[in-house]
Copies of this chain bind each other. A is one copy, B any other.
Amino acid sequence: MNTVLESLNRALLNALKTDERVLLMGEDILDPYGGSFKVSKGLSTKFPKRVLTTPISEAGFTGLAAGMAMRGLLPVVEIMFGDFVTLIADQLINHIVKFPWMYNQKVTVPIVIRAPMGGRRGYGPTHSQTLEKLYLGVPGLVVLAPTALGNPGRLLEVAIFQEKRPVLFVENKLLYLSKLFDINSSPDYSLEQIVLKRDHLEKTENYYPYPIYVLKIADAPKCDLTLVTYGYMAEVARNAMLRLAYESEIFVEMIVPTILAPYQCAPVIRSLDKSKRLLVVEEGTLTLGWGAEVITRVVEQLPNRLRAIHRLASKDFPIPASGYLEREFLPNEEDIVAKVRKIMKES
């Protein structure tokens, strides 16, 4: 397995192979095309009855998949561009996530909704957004994001087979092409994988199967700042970390969860114990993004023990088509480096 894309593709293949209840659904996912980003490539040829190409009806087929999930199947839905998750808001919020709780835990809706998000490809305002923040505060929904630091395919399989709650599985278009991180060939870094205990509300299992990754500069003499991010931005930030270490002797510890919601902030708090400086980086627009809740949960526990709290995110505007403007609006490696340097100077 080489890229995130391959890892995800193989996971879907494996899921289809090992369990007849698994069905894929989405626009243009049949071979030879295999979906806009090719995550479904090769699957419809092998499983023609269980890979269903849909009309352009995001709400309709998502609801339909939810109905299947409630009757024992394990549907995986692809929203062609994550920008279109706006169209499934009602199905997701007023139907899918509500059913288990409002029906007094008598049903489960084990649906996985995959959505490729993100910009940097010049697709413009309606095909470049990072919209998961809309759903991070929705009770009953699990939002996952693979990282090249871990095993994206494994994460997807866990979402399909182990997670009983509905899942929004957020992919990033540029992350698809990222190579899976291999610590053995990356002597500059050290990597730790944390698995958290579940909170008391969910009694069935004891551990979240969603690892949180902690990446450090190998043999870092100190920990200057805790950088929290996910998905593709972790790839960008990983490079920034290296530059900061080598160019400025600033040592960043990066925390990369694979579960975005429900929030799990313990590793962040642990890291802040040393660093006292927090920077949350995300590709979505700034206001009320994922980072706002991370920061809030941190400061509820540490109201006065941090020296710096910052966010780096997209500007609060639509995403422009023009490459120049897009670069200006989305956070990039240079922005992270500059931001961290500034924080270090000021705090």
User: Does A300 touch B at the CB level, under 8 Å?
Assistant: yes
Contact B304 A140 (CB under 8 A): no
Residues on B with C-beta less than 8 A from A224 are none
Q: Mark A324-347, 1 if CB is under 8 A from B, else 0.
A: 000000000000000000000001
Contact A309 B317 (CB under 8 A): no
Contact A125 B102 (CB under 8 A): yes
Nearest chain B CB to A176's CB is how many angstroms away? 23
**Once the chains are docked, how many angstroms separate the CA of A299 from the CA of B287?**
14
Contact B102 A287 (CB under 8 A): no
**Once the chains are docked, how many angstroms separate the CA of A299 from the CA of B292?**
10
Choose one: B90, B124, B288, B317; the contact of A288 (CB below 8 Å).
B288
Nearest chain B CB to A117's CB is how many angstroms away? 13
**Once the chains are docked, how many angstroms separate the CA of A293 from the CA of B89?**
22
**Stretch of A6-14, A22-30, A130-138, A166-174 lying at the B interface:** A130-138
Residues on B with C-beta less than 8 A from A318 are 97-98, 101-102, 139-140
Looking at A92, A305, A317, which has the most chain B CB atoms within 10 Å of its CB? A317
Nearest chain B CB to A80's CB is how many angstroms away? 13
Looking at A137, A262, A290, which has the most chain B CB atoms within 10 Å of its CB? A137
User: Does A39 touch B at the CB level, under 8 Å?
Assistant: no
User: Does A184 touch B at the CB level, under 8 Å?
Assistant: no
Nearest chain B CB to A172's CB is how many angstroms away? 19
Contact B86 A98 (CB under 8 A): no
Residues on B with C-beta less than 8 A from A45 are none
Interface size class for chain A? 35 or more
Q: Mark A283-295, 1 if CB is under 8 A from B, else 0.
A: 0011111111101
Contact B288 A299 (CB under 8 A): no
Contact A86 B89 (CB under 8 A): yes
Chain B minimum-CB-distance residue to A290: B288
Looking at A92, A124, A263, A300, which has the most chain B CB atoms within 10 Å of its CB? A300
Contact B292 A288 (CB under 8 A): yes
**Once the chains are docked, how many angstroms separate the CA of A214 from the CA of B263?**
32
Residues on B with C-beta less than 8 A from A287 are 136-137, 139, 261-263, 293
Nearest chain B CB to A223's CB is how many angstroms away? 17
User: Does A56 touch B at the CB level, under 8 Å?
Assistant: no
Nearest chain B CB to A318's CB is how many angstroms away? 5
Contact A125 B137 (CB under 8 A): no
Give residues 259-318 of A contacting B (CB, 8 Å): 261-263, 285-293, 295-296, 299-300, 303-311, 315-318
User: Does A64 touch B at the CB level, under 8 Å?
Assistant: no
User: Does A196 touch B at the CB level, under 8 Å?
Assistant: no
Contact B300 A299 (CB under 8 A): no
A interface, CB within 8 angstroms of B: 83-84, 86-87, 89-90, 92-94, 97-98, 101-102, 124-126, 131, 133-134, 136-137, 139-140, 261-263, 285-293, 295-296, 299-300, 303-311, 315-318, 320, 347
Q: With contacts A102-B124, A102-B318, A303-B308 known, what are 17 further pairs, Cβ within 8 A?
A: A84-B94, A86-B92, A89-B89, A93-B131, A101-B318, A102-B125, A102-B320, A134-B134, A136-B287, A262-B287, A288-B288, A292-B292, A292-B295, A292-B296, A295-B295, A300-B310, A304-B305
